[in-house]
């Protein structure tokens, strides 16, 4: 994902936690999973047209487990209305001028909710963990969410 600073920092932080927790394991970054019985972790905003069923079927094939961690910025979770803006697709570079009125924001939130529901349903179907995080969340909240999902453990 092409990421603003808050998303990149949160993604890097989670990657660091997972890497540190993988003592004695090999951490590999790649698109195509090749190691059988491995734990496969996806850290992304999932702002893509990929089919969640197809992606999770591919990732879960011969995996010990699959974890999907979605990171969205607060402005993506709860956009403000008013004015207009230029949206730029980070993958294609396509630009679109858009009025950020109640109707537009409502349609976006509806589409985001449906997109999230598809990913959650696919995660349930393939027994994958699905974690939603706000990029601007305090680190303690990030760790708490990952711990609640059983991905990391902490001691006080």
Query: How far lies 36's CA from each of 7, 16, 53, in Å?
Result: 30, 23, 20
1 pLDDT above the threshold of 60: no
How many whole angstroms separate alpha carbon 34 and alpha carbon 78? 37
66 pLDDT above the threshold of 60: yes
Q: Provide, rounded to the nearest whole percent, the portion of the chain with pLDDT above 90.
A: 49
- Residues 84-106 pLDDT 10s: 777 777 677 788 888 888 998 99
Length of the chain as a residue count? 156
- Residue 27: pLDDT band (50, 70, 90) is low
**What are the sequence ranges of the domains in the chain?**
5-79+120-148
The string over 75-93, giving b where at least 16 C-beta atoms fall within 10 Å of a residue's C-beta and e elsewhere, is: ebeebeeeeeeeeeeeeee
Decide which of 3.90.25, 3.40.50, 1.10.3470, 2.120.10 is the CATH code for 5-79+120-148: 3.40.50
How many whole angstroms separate alpha carbon 77 and alpha carbon 11? 17
21 pLDDT above the threshold of 70: yes
């Amino acid at each position: 994902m092409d990421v603003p600073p808050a998303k990149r920092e949160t993604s890097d932080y989670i990657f660091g936690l997972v890497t540190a927790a993988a003592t004695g394991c090999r951490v590999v970054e790649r698109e195509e999973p090749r190691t059988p019985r491995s734990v496969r972790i996806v850290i992304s905003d999932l702002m893509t047209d990929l089919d969640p069923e197809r992606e999770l079927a591919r990732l879960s094939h011969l995996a010990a487990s699959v974890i999907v961690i979605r990171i969205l910025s607060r402005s993506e979770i709860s956009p403000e209305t008013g004015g207009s803006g230029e949206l730029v697709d980070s993958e294609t570079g396509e630009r679109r001028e858009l009025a950020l009125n109640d109707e537009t924001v409502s349609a976006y939130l509806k589409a985001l909710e449906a997109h999230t529901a598809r990913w959650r349903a696919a995660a349930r179907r393939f027994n994958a963990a699905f974690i939603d995080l706000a990029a601007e969340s305090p680190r303690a909240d990030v760790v708490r969410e990952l711990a609640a999902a059983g991905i990391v453990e902490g001691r006080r």
